[in-house]
Amino acid sequence: MVVSIRDVAEHVGVSLGTVSNVLNRPNTVNADMVARVLEGIRELGYVRNDAARQLRAGNSRTIGMIVQDSSNPFFADMARGAEDQAEVGGRMLIVGNSHQSAERELRYIDLFEEQRVQGVFLAPIDDLTERLKQLRQHRIAPVLVQRRVSLDDFCSVAGDDEHGGYLAVKHLLDIGRRRIAFVGGPVSIIGIEDRLTGARRAVDEVADATLEVIDTAELTVGVGRSVGEQILDRDRGRRPDGMFTANDLVALGLIQAFVMSHSVQIPDEIALIGYDDIAFATAAVVPLSTIRQPGAMFGVMGVSLIQEEVDSPDGHTHRQVLFQPELVVRESTAGFADPEA
């Protein structure tokens, strides 16, 4: 019923080794023999059994990726970039979604290890240094999305979050805001802490500026909305006049809350800036200023680094690729002096 390489061999009247050679090294086989075998393969509808191939060859052709939140367009962009790059190298990408659960993250790592993927690309929630080193014993190359790791052990891809945070708040200060609020958390999410650090540095440069930190459990539109309502409950004087959110989703939530209330003008009373520059930032009620990160490039580069390590396991030295973020000014902070002007 199920056609194996042996069936093809018998059908064509050659040895099974020859069929394998046609599949894997056609140039070592006589041209018309190749043709005959391929014909046989077609006739019998043979499809290679990848499990057997992998068992014997010892390696798979897949790369595993773990994202923390697939409904965040930024991660979706990253995954797309990763997938495109994987395809270039003739590999497949398997994507797992951890939903920011450290447990699910570990489960996926186990799964990927059983599958003997060539590499794992992930933004770790917990500290996984030891676990990831174990992966190496199965010749699996881990690549991280993260800035500060024990640099020597892994390749990594990251945005300069500290600088991004600085840029964002510097911009708020430049347009005259002084009561700054940072909305974000938890610290486990990559780079959040750095963005806050950068924000703090910018605030410290201006004498009368203050920074309030509003901690959140996750970074979603819903969270943004509820933080927004919480702000609306305050007396006007006690509200921030400039808010920097750890990602665009939260900012979009804030915008919704403020606009629906009809009681806060953006950016007049509160200026807003997000992070990532997802596609929907432009389409918001009030188009959102933000710090742009090249999401797809993160993915492309992450997978490239895996491919580098896999293709030359010996002469490989780990690299840390850092992308520079970029300020994008839209209406949620505009109608004022250009920051550079």
Residue 6 CB neighbours (<10 A): 11
Q: Which is nearer to DNA, 53 or 201 (CB)?
A: 53
User: Residue 297 touches which of DNA, a copy of itself, none (CB < 5 to 8 A by kind)?
Assistant: none
Pick from 53, 61, 104, 178 the residue near DNA by CB under 7 A: 53
- Residue 134, interface with DNA (CB under 7 A)? no
User: Residue 271 touches which of a copy of itself, DNA, none (CB < 5 to 8 A by kind)?
Assistant: none
Apex CA 331: angle with CA 73 and CA 327, to 5°?
Answer: 60
The piece of 47-55, 66-74, 105-113, 298-306 that touches DNA (CB under 7 A) is: 47-55
Pick from 35, 55, 151, 213 the residue near DNA by CB under 7 A: 55
- Residue 324, interface with DNA (CB under 7 A)? no
- Residue 14, interface with DNA (CB under 7 A)? yes
Which residues here bind a copy of itself, judged by CB under 8 A? Answer: 1-2, 45, 47-52, 54-55, 60, 70-71, 73, 76-77, 79-80, 83, 92-97, 110-111, 113-116, 134, 137-138, 221, 252-253, 255-256, 279-280, 282-287
The piece of 10-18, 166-174, 210-218, 331-339 that touches DNA (CB under 7 A) is: 10-18
- Rounded to a whole number of angstroms, the minimum distance from the CB of residue 115 to DNA is 12
Q: Which two tokens stand for residue 104?
A: 């699910």
What's the sign of the alpha-carbon dihedral 134, 135, 136, 142?
negative
Assign 137 to helix, strand or coil. Answer: helix
Which of these, 107, 209, 194, 199, lies nearest to 149 by C-alpha position? 194
For residue 126, the cross-strand partners are none
Which of these, 120, 116, 122, 118, lies nearest to 78 by C-alpha position? 122
Q: Which residues contact 137 (CB under 8 A, 6 or more apart)?
A: none
Contact by Cβ (8 Å): 143, 306: yes
User: Residue 194 touches which of DNA, a copy of itself, none (CB < 5 to 8 A by kind)?
Assistant: none
